[in-house]
Amino acid sequence: MPQNMRDIKRRIKSVRNTSQITKAMEMVAAAKLRRVQDAVQQSKPYLAKMQDMLANLSQSARHVKHPLLASRPVKRTGYLVITADRGLAGPYNAQVVRAAMQEFGKKDKASFAIYAVGKRGRDYFRRRGFPVAADVVDLADSPTYHSIRHLAEAVVSAYERAEFDELYFIYNEFINAASQRPIVKKVLPLDSLADEAKGPRRIYEFEPDEEAVLAALLPRYAETLVYQAVLDAKASEHAARMTAMGNATDNAKELISDLTLSLNRARQAAITTQIAEIVGGAEALR
């Protein structure tokens, strides 16, 4: 029985230490989530203004041809898949990988290309022989545009060169701190951009001309969409990790409570046994 009590005490100490770690990780994830949310809110006005301006430009310049605006027969598809570099975030990575595998289905591996953000997704697809054209790993907890610019430019340039004919984003969309939803979103071509104009139509004067302006702005807009998706996915990652660590802390507290009850029962049993032995000894001496 003493040995059993020592085992319970040792386990209580181990679980308590673990709960302190998970609690600290929960608080760190919450702080990181707030920073990324601030970055998302700061980038949204820029993206919305650029989208509105390009939508009006596209309406005014429908005769202008640009690879990002033109639909073409789909022979090959590009996928930007955003996962985390590490785990301990509940089902965050599994949800994205599952959504990606459902999207790939039974497609021929030569019919699509994967652009991976995050080690978990990249390593998963490489181990299974899927075509990973480019990747970005070890991103900061609050990514900057500069950190993903190389990948964004590579994706947009590959589409312009017709290396694939449509582009999809696969990532966890941030709903709120308790909810993240895996989505598969078509991004390129931007053929519906002209239909997204809001409010009265604006008249623009172009310098040097409409084609040059769109040629400069459309790739930047597509790259900004990549950056916005990465920020959204990072917010989801921090929220998922915060929730997972919060649940782990709560489970640890419940386990400590159960172990403490078991320890008290073991103590009571030991005391009862000692009393019985004392009484039995006293009876024997009579």
Going from N- to C-terminal start, the domains of the chain cover: 2-26+244-281, 27-243
**Tokens representing residue 52 in the block:** 């509105």
Taking Cα atoms as reference points, which of 226, 235, 240, 241 lies closest to residue 81?
A: 226
pTM over 0.85: no
Specify whether domain 27-243 bears CATH 3.40.1380.10: yes
In whole angstroms, give the CA distance from residue 137 to residue 124: 13
Q: How many CA atoms lie within 13 A of 279 on its CB side?
A: 6
Q: How many CA atoms lie within 13 A of 235 on its CB side?
A: 23
Phi and psi dihedrals of 201, rounded to 5?
-70, 135
Contact assessment for residue 188 and residue 159, using Cβ atoms and an 8 Å cutoff: yes
In whole angstroms, give the CA distance from residue 120 to residue 138: 11
Q: What count of other Cβ atoms lies within 10 Å of the Cβ of residue 22?
A: 19
Residue-wise pLDDT tens for the chain (286 aa)?
Answer: 455 888 888 888 998 999 999 999 999 999 999 888 888 888 888 888 777 777 777 666 566 677 777 788 888 899 999 999 888 888 899 999 999 999 888 788 888 889 999 999 999 999 988 888 888 888 888 888 888 888 888 888 888 888 888 899 999 988 888 888 899 988 888 777 655 555 566 666 666 767 777 778 888 888 888 888 999 999 999 999 999 999 999 999 999 888 888 888 888 877 787 777 777 776 676 6
Question: Hey, what amino acid is at 22?
Answer: T
CATH topology (fold) of 2-26+244-281: Helix Hairpins (1.10.287)
